[in-house]
Amino acid sequence: MFLFFSFTEAQTITDPQDYYACDEDGDGYVTIPFSELQNYALDYLEEFNESPEIYVTKAYNGIAKITNLYNNPQVIHVCDSDGNGGYYDIAINNQQEIFIARQGGFIQKINPQTCTITNIGQAHPNGQSVLALSFDKLNHLYEGGWTSQVFRADAQNLSEFHLWHDFIDGRAAGDFVQIGEFLYVAWTVDGTDYLYKVTLGTNNQYVSHENLGPIDNGTYGLAVEYGRLYGNTPNYLYEINLETMETMLIRQRPNQSNTAGEWWGAAGLHEALDMQITYHEELNEALTGTNPLADPYTNPFPFTGQIFIRIHEATNDVTYIIPINLIIEVAPAAADAELEECRDEDLGMATFQLNNAQMDINPGAGLNFTYFESLENLTAHQNPLPLSYSVPQTTTVFVKVSDGSPDCYGVAELELLVPTAENVDYDSEVVFCQGTEAVLSVPDEFTNYQWNGLTGEDSDQPLDQHEVIVSLPGNYSVTVTDVSGCSYTLPFQVSSGGEPEITGVSVDGKSLTVLVSPAGQYEYSLNGVFWQNSNTFYPIEPDDYEIYVRDFSGCSSDKYEFTYFYIPNFISPNNDGYNDVWEIRGLNEYPDAAVRIFDRYGKLFFDRKINSNSFVWDGKYLGRTVPSGTYWYILTLSEEKRITGSVFVRN
């Protein structure tokens, strides 16, 4: 309770109130958003019976109201149901009279003290349901139902509704509430609830609207209290931030198993009042409503300041002025720091004495240091950590540095460093090719090394250096000790790459396919420079090639030399002058070359040593033309080099 005095009959000025602000950098200046000051001001409106309240309809169980919106909201039952159907929605005018929408579109007024009901009329003669009901600041009454049309009854005659606007698509989800010069509408389109912002013209006629985005699905009602927008679903009340469209839960509905008590509609007790909150540096400016401050407020002089909060209700021309004395507290300095401890290899944990970092964070006297696992816990001052704190790996904790003020403190990050193998940059997986050796290496930054797992001749080398050479695949490790005396083990997995061998080359026209053993995934090259994943090259030109194959660990085959001859893959021995013979040219480098030709059953049709720089087959066997079909050949250039392929014969 605080004292107040009246300046005039319509203006009330309270005693000055102290507002404590925390200066985090010590320069004497603080910046305060108006949202914080507004919450501060609204707390005092309860003294004038003007505290924010949201009324809700309880489906078939009457009416309730939600009080203490900003501090432990409470649900208070107001009126029971009269037993004549559901309470679809609720609206409150600027005289704080309460109206409800009932079954069949009937509008009624209810006295919240006696719960007496007075019939006003029916919104539509055909009994069309009213799902949304709200007053604007001119006391016009809006209603919407299952169609895209919104109707309005003017303040002078609440029983006669006329079309206000047709949104064409969708229907009313819940309510039409006014904030400033805009009407906010909860609207449903294709099963999703959205918030529309409607620009108003003269006499609050529709001008245009924009879709601000989705809101919680199942929003049956909207309500406004002192410029803050709320929505309700059947089971909870929430606040909508109009700048970010983020939502915040205010209150859950009690006894949610009782569906007859679902919240179907909402209205703010003061939402139809023309209430404005402004902030001023001078009392006379607050009295006249002139020179309002810009949001946010920064005190003009260091370590001091005074603000006058003006709450003006224009409907009844009532003004409340709350002088605020700004008390600026300076937060203690808090520098980030770090501690390092070795991990116990048996326990897998490193234990820190957190208070060892206090002098690095702030060496001042008379300070309190409290440690937390998260910023959330620090802010809520919950779950503080013990001073002896164990962790399995490097982590960061947060330190609150306070000189006694619960709301003004410094915050530091304390990094707890646990040296482990995970912090060392090295290659733990090593592959080497057969016939070679592998080098295992770690950074040359430790004070001690001890290699493990080496056998045979591999162990005949210094095992206390930062690298060793191994010739066998297997699992190895090195135990290292850092400059802080922490020891840990770095593992290695060493594997041997393959030994691919080119076994031959198959030629089909201008296509060359490399044959490899053993089968696997390889890369192929015709010159050792350009590589491809496919073992087939097309098209190729007659030339001498040096063919290589390598696996994906980099192990490659020996060079395979190959000369490509142009070998046709088609003949038609019908004496028409075109493709009558199968001729291989360019064999002068291979005087001992031989060729054999088979059919698909393996029958040998031709076996001859060439003894010339070319070879010609006329497609005959024993003087007769062979049947049409595919025939296979093996061209042997030397004992190490063979070419295989096929030729199609068509008679």
The pLDDT value given to residue 8: 46
Rounded Cα–Cα distance for residues 71 and 618 (Å): 104
Rounded Cα–Cα distance for residues 562 and 505 (Å): 8
User: Among 6-15, 360-369, 376-385, 456-465, which is the least confidently predicted range?
Assistant: 6-15
Is the per-residue pLDDT at 40 higher than 50? yes
Rounded Cα–Cα distance for residues 40 and 38 (Å): 5
Is the per-residue pLDDT at 4 higher than 60? no
The 544-550 sheet, strands edge to edge: 523-525, 544-550, 560-563
Is the per-residue pLDDT at 383 higher than 90? yes
Give start and end residues of each alpha helix (H) in 300-390: 358-361, 375-380
The sign of the CA dihedral 315, 76, 65, 69 is positive
pTM above 0.85, yes or no: no
Beta strand pairing call for 501-508 and 642-649: parallel
Give start and end residues of each alpha helix (H) in 351-480: 358-361, 375-380
The pLDDT value given to residue 3: 39
The answer to whether the CB of 442 falls within 8 A of the CB of 466 is yes
Distance of CA 190 to the CA centre of its chain: 26
The pLDDT value given to residue 152: 96
Which run of H or E residues covers position 141?
strand 141-144
Q: pLDDT tens for residues 261-309?
A: 999 999 999 988 887 889 999 999 999 999 999 989 999 999 999 999 9
For 603-621, what is the mean pLDDT?
82
Which run of H or E residues covers position 192?
strand 192-200
Q: pLDDT tens for residues 617-632?
A: 898 988 889 999 999 9
Beta strand pairing call for 265-268 and 275-280: unpaired
What is the residue whose two structure tokens read 């080098």?
Answer: 439
Q: How much of the chain, in percent, has pLDDT values that exceed 70? A: 96
Q: Across all residues in the chain, what is the average pLDDT?
A: 90
The 106-110 sheet, strands edge to edge: 87-92, 98-102, 106-110, 117-122
Token couple for 355 = 């208070």
Q: Please report which confidence band the pLDDT of residue 5 belongs to, taking 50, 70 and 90 as the band edges.
A: very low
Q: Please report which confidence band the pLDDT of residue 193 belongs to, taking 50, 70 and 90 as the band edges.
A: very high
Count of C-beta atoms within a 10 Å radius of residue 16: 13
Count of C-beta atoms within a 10 Å radius of residue 77: 12
The answer to whether the CB of 362 falls within 8 A of the CB of 335 is yes
Residue in 585, 6, 71 with CA at minimum distance from that of residue 319: 6
The pLDDT value given to residue 506: 86
Q: Please report which confidence band the pLDDT of residue 588 belongs to, taking 50, 70 and 90 as the band edges.
A: low
Beta strands in 148-235 (DSSP E): 149-153, 162-166, 171-179, 182-189, 192-200, 206-214, 221-225, 228-232
The pLDDT value given to residue 6: 43
The sign of the CA dihedral 374, 375, 381, 386 is positive
Q: Please report which confidence band the pLDDT of residue 497 belongs to, taking 50, 70 and 90 as the band edges.
A: confident
Q: pLDDT tens for residues 44-59?
A: 666 666 788 999 999 9
Q: pLDDT tens for residues 560-572?
A: 988 777 778 899 9
Q: pLDDT tens for residues 75-122?
A: 999 999 998 889 999 999 998 999 999 989 999 999 999 999 999 999
Q: How much of the chain, in percent, has pLDDT values that exceed 90? A: 64
Q: pLDDT tens for residues 499-509?
A: 888 998 888 87
Is the per-residue pLDDT at 488 higher than 70? yes
Q: Please report which confidence band the pLDDT of residue 1 belongs to, taking 50, 70 and 90 as the band edges.
A: very low
Report the DSSP beta bridge partners of residue 597: 606, 633
